[in-house]
Amino acid sequence: MKVTFRVASKRNLKSIVELCNECFDENTSLAYAKKIWKKNKHDKNQIYIVGYVDGKIAAHAKVNIIPTIYEDMNTYAILNHICVKPGFRRLHIGTRLLDACFKVAKQHNCKTVELWSKNFRVAAHGLYHKYGFEVMETCLKEASMKINNVYVGGWYQRTMLQLSEIYDFLRNCEVKIKLDKKKLEVHRKNLEIGNISYGVSGEEFVYFTTANGISVKIFEDGLIILGNKDISEDTLFTDIDKVQNYYETKLSPALNYLFSLGAPVPKELAGIKNIYPYFIVCEKATDSEMQGLLAKTEGQQYFEFKNNKYDVIRGDKYYFINNKTRSGDQIERYIEEQVFIREFKAQLHRYLNIHRIIWEKIDQVKAHSRVKGADIVKFTTKLEAYAKTINLIDGRIKQMSTYIPTRERIAKSDKDLEEFLEISGYRYETLRDTLDYIKYLWNMTENYVSAALKQFESLKSDITSKSVNSLTIVTSMSAGAAILGLFTKAEPTFTAFGFMYFFILALVGWGSQKILSYVGNRQKYDVTDVEYEKDIK
């Protein structure tokens, strides 16, 4: 097999990172690799070698040239991250890769070559022995578990139009609607924004970092992911609280004020409480260390799965991910999708509960058969409030169907993400079916409230009509007496008796209205309902 070796360039970074993460159970991000490359790009003693097979990188090694001031030692080289892609092993590519490394070492007049390798790479050690290397020092214990990041997320329905408004506000505190400029400036200052950018990864998003090390990613569909890399096992819960507090006391109030005009968001309408899913991403964690983390949080395990790329344990609020070979970006993509799915399901479940509550409250009133007039007025007002809320939520539920196809398309275009979700047991088809069920159920709820509102408005109208008719009779009697008086006198005159008479008539009218209102409120009205036919033949 023909293999071509050459010194790597910046454009090879992505392939190098992916290959090394796969071969060494590492979690190097492309962003980190680019940062280090930029920092050391003028250092000619750091050389990355790549091997091409059919135009693709199949092998890699790092050659570190170490010049010294010692004449006997002179210059030596250290080789590390020597690897061959699994599908190309046992084809002598590793031997030829070592040849290429030694060629570079000779070009730099190195007298000695050292090779660093991890303990678990036993098969590779056989090749190194055959090539002439001898074991000088063995690290008996690899590094213990390391917690790389914690994430907190949430989802509020948004669009790219609102994302643009968020970006303008975060970047330079500009808004196109009439909001208090001073309040906006206070909110933006509290966010402590560092770097900010606008990007696209399946969806458009805004990404920014803060002065206290928190990263924030806001997508066009309203998904929000906050991360914190400045963490340790000893301060884990303090570090999680740091992210949550930033969201609750700084980011959320700022966004709420930015979108304070217009219809309320579904979570406010439905009274949905924020129960954040926390994602703790580790590496090199043993089973006992993962279970130890679970025990420190909630102790209840919902599911667990393992493979050669990652281990995942899920509790009620906490997800623990032991990353073995995936990049940080790949793990973050999985977390983003998990937050979206979890939040989407939580909203649907709350709408289901609202349907049950409203249906039960109406049934409780109808079960009494007879209802006081005063209670009819109160319940009619309550039904009108239900109808308004239901109408607003109905629009949001219909809007939810637009988000699933986009998220599903993004997931299916990413093989790693699709595999991750499949192992987790999530199906977009199930999510779509659940949404359709809630739509039908919500339509039934809307119709049921509308029918109940019509019925109680009719009863309310009857109460008002009876009161008006009774008051009309009293008024007509008074008017009749006045007209008869006109026929008994030559012309009207203003007298003390006349004023007293007018006052008595007004008092009688007022008293009659109060009595009739009291009687109407105390009187019970029949509430009839058509029963379900359970024996249709």
- Of 389 and 465, which is predicted with more confidence? 389
Q: Tokens in use for 446?
A: 């809307």
Beta bridge partners of 46: 64
Three-class secondary structure of residue 199 per DSSP: strand
| Alpha-carbon distances of 417 from 67, 234, 266, 279, 317, rounded to whole Å | 45, 31, 28, 16, 21
Least confident of 171-180, 345-354, 360-369: 360-369
Q: What is the pLDDT of residues 63-99, one digit of tens each?
A: 999 998 888 778 999 999 999 999 898 899 999 999 9
Nearest-angstrom CA–CA distance, 114 and 127: 14
pLDDT at 472 over 90: no
What per-residue confidence (pLDDT) applies to 529? 47
Mean pLDDT of 145-168: 86
- Taking residues 339-355, what's their average pLDDT? 86
pLDDT of residue 40 exceeding 50, the answer is yes
Q: Lowest-confidence range among 389-403, 422-436, 439-453?
A: 422-436
pLDDT at 4: 94
Question: What single letter denotes the amino acid at residue 108?
Answer: H
Pairing of strands 278-283, 193-201: unpaired
pLDDT at 98: 95
* Whether pLDDT at 483 is above 60: no
- The pLDDT of residue 499 is above 50: yes
* Token pair belonging to 413: 């275009």
Whether the pLDDT of residue 271 is over 50: the answer is no
Instruction: Look at residue 140 and tell me whether its pLDDT is greater than 90.
Output: no
Residue 13 and residue 33 in contact, taking contact as beta carbons nearer than 8 Å: yes
* pLDDT attached to residue 492: 55
Separation of CA 518 from chain center: 53
Instruction: Assess contact for 97 and 61: CB atoms under 8 A.
Output: yes
Query: pLDDT grade, residue 537 (50/70/90)?
Result: very low
- pLDDT > 70 in the chain, percent: 77
The residue ranges of DSSP E strands in 284-355, in sequence order, are 303-306, 310-314, 318-323
Would the pTM of this model clear 0.85, i.e. be above it?
no
Among 13-22, 213-222, 360-369, the least confident range: 360-369
